Amino acid sequence: MTIALDHTDRRELLARFLRYVQVDTQSDDSSTASPSTEKQKDLSRLLAEELAELGCADARMDEWGYVWATLAANLPAHHPAAGKVPAIGLIAHVDTYYATPGGGVRPQVIETYEGGDIRLPGDPRQVITAADNPNLGACVGHTLVTSDGTTLLGADDKAGVAEIVSVVAWLRKHPEFLHGPVHIAFTTDEEVGRGTEHFDVAAFGARYAYTLDGSDLGEIEDETFSADTAIVTLEGYDVHPGYAKGKMINAVRAAAAIVERLGHEFLPETTEGRQPYLHPFDLKGDVSRATLRLLVRAFTDDELHAREEVLRGVVAEVEELFRGLRAGIEIKESYRNMAYKIAEDPQVLEVALEAVRRMGIEPVRKAIRGGTDGARLSFMGLLTPNVWAGGQAFHSVQEWVSLEWMAKASECCLHILDLWVEKAGKP
């Protein structure tokens, strides 16, 4: 049978997406609660209800705001793959990036995009330019969705959420499409690095899974950064500034000295591709005490540790420069490159790549300069490469997405389910 979302399916996908992005689900990187913001549960409740209406009898939201649901296999007993198809998981996250305004999203729908720059109506200074967004050229004639320029859109990752729900809706409409067990999970707090904190892999029940949290059409991502967070604490000494000569030890100046001494060739703004970086992203404190937080990112553990050693050397140099300063460094592991685990059982990747080919698209195997829930899940025993969701310029007020690319992501999931049946049915 033909695997494709028709015009009605696509309009339903668009309606779902527009509904979801208007629910404020920003996470909060300063919160220790779980989820970090209660408002994430507003969308989770809605999703659990929708999945139940679409035939997932076990759809529910748990105390952490995660949504769980299952579609049972529908293979007849005489089918050669019956009882052999591994359970497949489809995963996306409900929260949006914490550092860009995300409440009160007013989505703008551009039917039949004609090309060129897109000026956003909520803030005339915000223009999505064709020069800075080369993928716009590939989306002429598509239906595009943006925010009004005052908030992010939330395609990261509500596009993925809408695409998965649309897969469930399509399967309900097409009972003749045979598939194995399908497990759905929508997580919270991915944007603050805690998306799998309460994820019970055994209870989820999938053998393999796919996150829908990527960007460009045809991209399958099986590699992420390895990631740590470095926390540098600096203890100075404060006295009245009028009588400070030879006495004051300024922790703020010491922090600034550390930042200035970081190699400029290893900053996010100067690196690309497979280059590692060291990113100072948060500084708080006063003369007496300052805390500097840095992201450490690299595709190999050796490169990751090399960046951390550079940081230790810089801190030691500054500690020597500011006599009497007391400095400490804590390294917290965030996640590791999922390529190490996927290489142990690459069929999960091979199925995804073949699914893209069967859609008539040449797959693009890509390494993510970032991370997904799939990175941690792969190390937790659930191999989880990443499929594109279509969002562009994520984390910014110029975020946009193509409805056609979203529909293709849903179709890719259906091809993946089909291929696992085909694979299991072979002698």
345 is catalytic: no
Q: Among candidates 132, 112, 124, which has minimal Cα distance to 149?
A: 124
221 is catalytic: no
Q: How many CB atoms lie within 10 A of CB 37?
A: 20
**Which residues 6+ apart lie within 8 Å of 386 measured at CB?**
210, 211, 212, 213, 214, 220, 221, 222, 368, 372, 374
Q: Among candidates 154, 207, 218, 188, which has minimal Cα distance to 34?
A: 188
Within 13 Å, how many C-alpha atoms sit on residue 186's CB side?
A: 34
Residue 376, H or E segment = helix 373-379
How many whole angstroms separate alpha carbon 308 and alpha carbon 295? 10
Task: Give the three-class secondary structure for 134.
Answer: helix
Which of 50, 156, 157, 190 does the annotation list as catalytic? 190
Largest CA distance in the chain: 89
Structure tokens at 215: 């960007």
Which of 95, 163, 219, 418 does the annotation list as catalytic? 95
Q: What is the dihedral of CA 401, 405, 409, 412, to 10 degrees?
A: -170
Active site residues: 95, 190
